[in-house]
Chains A and B, each alone.
Chain A
Amino acid sequence: MKNIAVYLGLAILAAACASETPKSEAPVTEGGKATAPSTSQGTGSTSSPAQSADVQGNPLHDPNNVLSKRSVYFDFDSNVVKDEFRPLVQAHARYMVEHRDSRVRIEGNCDERGSREYNLALGQRRAEAVKKIMTVLGAPDARIETISYGEEKPVAMGHDESSWAKNRRADIKYAGE
C-alpha cells in the first residue's frame, strides 16, 4: 500500500510534467496488435541518462511500476479475480481516482473452448469482475467500460493449456493507448 501511495504521488508529478510521454516501454504483448514503437519523439529518448522512469516516465508504462501491469488471468470457466492480481487492480483503481480525466476500457478474453457468443459474454463478465473491484475502491463507473473479445483475439495460438491460460484474461486499457 505504501508503495502504491508513492507511485501515485509520482504519477501525479509525471502527469503534471508531461501530458504526452513516450510509450516506448509499453509491453508489446498488450493490446493484441503491435503498436508501432515510438521513435525518438521530442527529447525523451529511452537511452537518455536524464530519463528517469521513476520521475519523468508515465507510471502506466514504467515497467517497474505495478501500473504497467494490465492483465488479470483467470481459471477455466471462472470470473473470480485471484488474490495475486488484486494489488494490480487496486493500483489502477487508485490511479483512476487520482486522475479524473482517465478513462479505462477493460477487455475480457477467453480461451478457444466453447461457443463463440457465449464466450463473448463470459469475457465481458471477467471484465466486469475487474471493474467491480475498481469501483468499490472509488473509481467511477462512468469512466470504466467493459467489453469483450471473447475467443476472437487470442494472444497465444496453441491449442493446449499453456496457451489457453494466457488467453483467459482481462486487460486494462487507458483511453488513448
Chain B
Amino acid sequence: MNASFRSIPRLLIGALALCAALGARAQLTIDITTSGARQVPIAVVPMAGEAGQPQSVSQVVGADLSRTGLFRLVDTTGITPLPSEPSQVSFPDWASRNAEALVIGKIEPSGDGRLEVRFRLFDVQKQSQLASYSYVVSPQQLRATAHRIADVIYEKLTGDKGVFSTKIAYVVKRNEHRFELQVADADGYNAQSILASNEPIMSPAWSPDGSRLAYVSFDQKKPMVVVQNLAEGTTKIVANFRGNNSAPAWSPDGRFLAVALSKDGLTQIYRIPATGGTPQRLTDSSDIDTQPAFSPDGQWIAFTSDRGGSPQLYRMPAGGGPAQRLTFEGNYNVGPRFSPDGKYLAFVQRTDGRYRIASLELATGQLLTLTDGTLDDSPSYAPNGKMILYEAQVGGRGQLAAVSGDGRVRQRLTSSAGDVQDPAWGPMPTN
C-alpha cells in the first residue's frame, strides 16, 4: 500500500518553525520503567540520506516506540550495507538478531528545498511488507514526520492509534511569582510558553479539536476561567463571577464548558457557553461539587462531591439531575477523568496519607491503583487511552509522569525548569 501525505497538519507547522530555533534541545527527559509487559523487538535502521539533515528521523521513530514500553530496539550496527530499499533487506540477518519488525527508509531531495521521506515496515518472520508511506516535507518538518511514521508503525503492530503527533500542556512554576503555561510535543520537545503570569495558573484543558485551551488564571487576584485560542493567541475570560471560577471541562462538541463556581455560596458545577455567557447551574448540594468531566459521548458529567461526608466520585446526566455515587472505598477519591472510550475513570485516591492515581472501571466498579507516589495529581488520558499523564511530586517538586492504563509501564518526564504541574494531554491532531 502506498500513500503520499503532502499536508502536515497546520497545527504542527507553527510549532516546527520554532523547532529550528530551539534546536533539538529537550525540555523534558524521559525515563521508562516497565514490568511484565511483553516488548516487541524492532529494528529501526538509520535512513539513507538522513545524516546531513537537521533531524535524524530514525532516532525519533525509535525513541517514540521505545518510550511506550511496548517495544525493544534491536541493535542495527554491524550489518553492512544498511538496507534502505526492499531489495537490500536480508531477513535472516534480522531474524538472527531476534527482530520481529524492521523499519527502513530513505530521505531524498524532491525539489524546492523539500525532501521526500519514504519508509517501509516489514514483518521479519513472514518476510512481508506491512506498510510503505512517503511524505514530501520541508527539512523543518522532519521531526513531525518522524512522529507520523511512528504513529503508523505503532498502529500496524499494536492495533491502537499512535499518539506521537499529539501535544501536551502543563504549568511550569519557576518561582513564587513566575508561572508559565506551556505546550509541548508529546515527547517533551518544542516546549513553548503560551502564557506567562506572576500569579498562579491551573487546570489547563484542551478543546476537543485542539484549537483552544481553557485554564484557571489568578491574574485578577482570584481564580477565573479563561479560554485561549492557540493559533491566534487571543484570550477571553469566560467565567469571572463572584467567588471562585475554576475546573473547566469541555463538552465533546466544544460548545460548552462545565465549570466550578462559588458565586452562590460553596463550589457547585455549572454549564457555560465556551465563548462566555450565562451559567446554568447543574448541581444543587449544600456541599462541595467540583472537578466536572464530560463523558466522551456527552451523556454524563463525572465530578467530585463531599455530600456524603467525604469527597467521592459521582456522575449525573450532562444536563444536571440525580447524581449516582461511583466510589465507596476509602475517604478521598477526587478529580475524575474519563478514558477516551468512556469505560474508565482515572482519579486521585488517598490511602494512608498517600495520594495516587487510580482507575475505576465503570461497568464493574473495579478499582485499580496505578501509581506508587506520595502526592500524585491531575491524571489525563492520552487520546488513544493507553497512557495516563499525571503530576507527581518528587523531592518536593512537581514533575510529569505517565503510567499505562494497566499500571505496568511507567514514564517519568524530568524537567529542569522548576515545578511542573497540572498536565493535560491534547487530542489527536486534525488533518
Interface of A toward B, CB cutoff 8 Å: 32-33, 105, 112-118, 120-122, 124-125, 128, 145-150, 152-153, 159
B244 at the binding interface (Cβ < 8 Å)? yes
Task: Indicate whether B251 reaches chain A with its CB closer than 8 angstroms.
Answer: no
Q: Evaluate whether A121 and B288 lie within 8 angstroms (CB atoms) in the complex, with A128-B266, A159-B396 already known.
A: yes
Partner of A117, one of B246, B266, B353: B246
Contact of B375 among A112, A121, A122 (CB under 8 A): A112
A153 to B176, CA, bound (A): 8
**Partner pick for A115 among B200, B260, B266, B291, CB 8 A cutoff:** B291
A sample of 27 cross-chain residue pairs with beta-carbon separation below 8 angstroms, ordered by A number, consists of A33-B177, A113-B355, A114-B332, A115-B334, A115-B377, A116-B377, A117-B203, A117-B260, A117-B291, A117-B334, A117-B335, A120-B216, A120-B223, A120-B267, A121-B266, A122-B288, A124-B243, A124-B266, A125-B267, A128-B265, A146-B262, A147-B223, A147-B243, A147-B244, A149-B200, A150-B202, A153-B176
Point out which of B262, B291, B378 has the most chain A C-beta atoms below 10 A from its C-beta: B262
CA distance A115 to B336 in the complex (A): 11
Contact check, B291 vs A118: say whether CB atoms are below 8 A apart.
yes
Asked if A125 and B375 sit within 8 Å, CB to CB, the answer is no
Is B242 in the interface zone, CB < 8 Å from A? yes
Interchain CB contact under 8 A, B244 and A116? no
Quote the shortest CB–CB distance from B420 to chain A (angstroms).
13
Q: How far is the CB of B204 from chain A (nearest CB, A)?
A: 12
* Option from A112, A115, A120, A121 in Cβ contact (under 8 Å) with B378: A115
Which listed residue (B177, B244, B350, B422) contacts A121, Cβ 8 A? B244
Closest to A158 in B: B396
Partner of B355, one of A32, A115, A122, A124: A115
Q: Given A147-B223, A152-B202, A152-B218, check contact A117 B265 (CB 8 Å).
A: no
Chain B residues in the interface with A (C-beta under 8 A): 176-177, 200, 202-203, 216, 218, 222-223, 242-244, 246-247, 260, 262, 265-267, 288, 290-291, 304, 311, 332, 334-335, 348, 350, 353, 355, 375, 377-378, 393, 396, 421-422
Cα(A105)–Cα(B288), bound, Å: 20
CB distance from A159 to the nearest CB of B (A): 5
Instruction: Tell which of A112, A124, A153 touches B267, judged by Cβ atoms closer than 8 Å.
Output: A124
Q: Which of A32, A114, A120 contacts B244 (CB 8 A)?
A: A120
Q: B246 contacts which chain A residues (CB < 8 A)?
A: 117, 120-121
Which chain B residues lie closer than 8 Å to A149 at the CB level?
200, 218, 223
Shortest 9 CB-CB distances between A and B: which pairs? A152-B200, A121-B267, A147-B222, A121-B288, A121-B290, A118-B334, A115-B335, A115-B348, A115-B334
List the B side residues contacting A105 at CB < 8 Å. Answer: 222
Chain B residues within 8 Å of A33, by CB = 177
Interchain CB contact under 8 A, A116 and B332: no
Once the chains bind, are A146 and B243 in contact (CB under 8 Å)? yes
Q: Are A145 and B242 in contact (CB under 8 A)?
A: yes
Query: How many interface contacts (CB-CB < 8 Å) are there between A and B?
Result: 98
Known: A120-B246, A152-B218. A114 touches B350 (CB 8 A): yes
CB of B377 within 8 A of CB of A124, answer no
B355, A117: Cβ atoms closer than 8 Å: no
**Are B262's CB and A118's CB within 8 A?**
no
Chain A residues, Cβ within 8 Å of B242? 145
Chain A contacts for B288, CB-based, 8 A: 118, 121-122, 125
Q: Which A residues are in CB contact (< 8 Å) with B353?
A: 113
Cβ A118 vs Cβ B422 within 8 A: no
CA separation between A81 and B262, bound complex, in Å? 20
Q: Is the CB of A116 within 8 A of B290?
A: no
Nearest chain A CB to B373's CB is how many angstroms away? 12
- Chain B: which residue is nearest A141 at the CB level? B265
Looking at B176, B223, B266, the one whose CB has the most chain A CB atoms below 10 A away is: B223
> B396, A116: Cβ atoms under 8 Å?
no
**Cα distance A46–B33 when bound, in Å?**
61
For residue B348, which residues in chain A have a CB less than 8 angstroms away from its CB?
114-115
A125 touches B266 (CB 8 A): yes
Give every chain A residue within 8 A of B375 (Cβ-Cβ): 112-113
Complex Cα spacing A153 to B221, Å = 11
B177: A residues at CB distance < 8 A: 33
Which among B222, B266, B304 is the interface contact of A118 at CB below 8 angstroms?
A: B304
| In the complex, chain A residues whose CB is within 8 Å of the CB of B393 | 112
Complex formed: what's the CA distance from A115 to B313 in Å? 13
- What B residues does A152 contact at CB under 8 A? 200, 202, 218
Nearest chain A CB to B330's CB is how many angstroms away?
13
A145-B223 Cα distance, complex, nearest whole Å: 12
How near does chain A come to B40, taking the closest CB pair, in angstroms? 36
Q: For A105, A146, A153, which residue has the most chain B Cβ atoms within 10 angstroms?
A: A146
**Which chain B residues border A113 with CB–CB below 8 Å?**
353, 355, 375
Nearest neighbor of B332 in chain A, beta-carbon distance? A114
For B422, give its contact among A116, A124, A146 (CB under 8 Å).
A116
**Set B200, B244, B304, B334: member contacting A153, Cβ < 8 A:** B200
Distance of A128 Cα from B286 Cα, bound (Å): 12
Contact A145 B243 (CB under 8 A): yes
CA distance A159 to B348 in the complex (A): 19
C-alpha gap A52/B393 in the complex (Å): 49
Q: How far is the CB of B380 from chain A (nearest CB, A)?
A: 13
Contacts of B266 in A (CB 8 A): 121, 124-125, 128
Known contacts: A114-B332, A115-B334, A147-B223. The answer to whether A124 contacts B202 by CB under 8 A is no
With known contacts A114-B332, A115-B334, A120–B202 Cβ distance under 8 A: yes
Q: Which residue of A lies closest to B202 (CB)?
A: A116
When C-beta atoms are compared, the residue in chain B nearest to A146 turns out to be: B243
